[in-house]
Amino acid sequence: LKNAQHFLLSLDPRRHGKNVRNDFLKFMKYAEIFCLPMARQQARESCEK
């Protein structure tokens, strides 16, 4: 959640567009790292049911 807040703050329109894009790519990488294990866990649980 901290990363998400940082990401939203980094969308300040006064910043250079390239920086915003880099921040977005970084955020997506963090989101993947965070979400993949959770998604796997949920898939495993739903298969066991």
Cα angle value 19/39/10 (rounded, 5°)? 15
pTM of the model as a whole: 0.36
User: Which pLDDT score is estimated for 16?
Assistant: 59
Q: Model confidence over 20-48: pLDDT tens digits?
A: 778 788 887 887 777 677 777 777 888 87
Place of tokens 């329109």: 13
Rounded distance between C-alpha atoms, residue 44 and residue 49, angstroms: 9
Q: Report yes or no: 2 and 30 within 8 Å, Cβ to Cβ.
A: no
Phi and psi, residue 11, nearest 5°: -85, 15
